[in-house]
Structure 1
Amino acid sequence: MPLYEHVFLARQDLAQAQVDALAENATNILTENGGKVVKAETWGLRSLAYRIAKNRKAHYVALDVDAPAAAIAELERQTNINEDVIRFMTIRVDEHEKGPSAMMRRQERDRAPRGDGDRGGRGGDRGGFRREEEAE
């Protein structure tokens, strides 16, 4: 079966449980039509580049899907009807990305504590040069 990535944006005033219910509903539509969701990721509430239907933020959800074209058509039809979804996009891919998506890796990197490290810049010696005593 063909592989797809389906991303939808839900209204900002929805609770996380309602967003999860939307993702579950999409999964049910696909399984009823002979497809399956390989991976589902919730990217969280994020700011939009511009307002969409009076929303400045939206809940992002991404689904990696293995389904026939008819299942994708039904998913898009029902997603288009749903008033809680403000935008969606489905693209066909050759293969799904292994591990977490780039958005999830970015969130993990942003949450990681930052150490001083040897990056130069602030603190320590000026310009990254070591004094002669340290060099020995």
Structure 2
Amino acid sequence: MPLYEHVFLARQDLAQAQVDTLAENATKILTENGGKVVKTETWGLKSLAYKIAKNRKAHFVMLDVDAPAPAIAELERQTNINEDVIRFMTIRVDEHENGPSAMMKRGDRDRDRDRDRDRGPRGGGRGRDEDGE
């Protein structure tokens, strides 16, 4: 069966339990139509680059899916109807990533950067060389 990645953005005012329920519903739709979800990643509440349907933030969820095309069509149809989902995208991939996705790895890098920022400035100068340039 073809492999897909399905990412959806849920409204910012939903609780994490409601977002998890949306992911479970997507999994249920796919399994009922002969597919399976290989991996589910919840990326959390993130800021959007611009407002979407009056939302400045959204809960991001990604599903790695192994399913036939009709199952994906049904998932997209029902996702389009759901008012809690503000955007979604499904792409076909040659293979799924092993381990965490780039967004999950990025979260670790952001935490490291925040930790380093809390330590204070690096170096001990004014930011210029001794000639003042």
TM-score calculated relative to the size of structure 2:
0.85
Are 2:61 and 1:73 aligned?
Answer: no
Listed as ranges, the gaps of 5+ residues in structure 2 are 126-133
1:131 corresponds in structure 2 to none
Report the count of equivalent residues. 121
5 Å-filtered alignment, 1:8-47, equals: 8-47=8-47
Point out where structure 1 has 5 or more consecutive residues left out of the alignment. Answer: 116-120, 125-136
Shift in Å at residue 123 of structure 1? 4.4
Paired residue for 1:54? 54
Aligned residue for 1:102?
102
Q: Distance in 2 between matches of 1:39 and 1:123?
A: 46
Counterpart secondary structure, 1:8 = strand
Q: How many Å apart are 1:110 and its aligned residue?
A: 1.8
2:123 matches 1:122? yes
| 1:86 and 2:117 matched | no
**2:128 paired residue number:** none
Question: Which of the pair has more CA radius of gyration?
Answer: 1
User: How big is the shift at 1:108?
Assistant: 1.4
Q: CA deviation at 1:109?
A: 1.8
CA RMSD of aligned residues (A): 1.8
Amino acid at match of 2:80: N
- Give the TM-score, by structure 1 length: 0.84
Shift of 1:43: 0.5
Poorly superposed stretches of 4+, deviation over 3 Å: 112-115
Q: Residue type matched to 1:122 in 2?
A: G
State the AA in 2 paired with 1:41: E
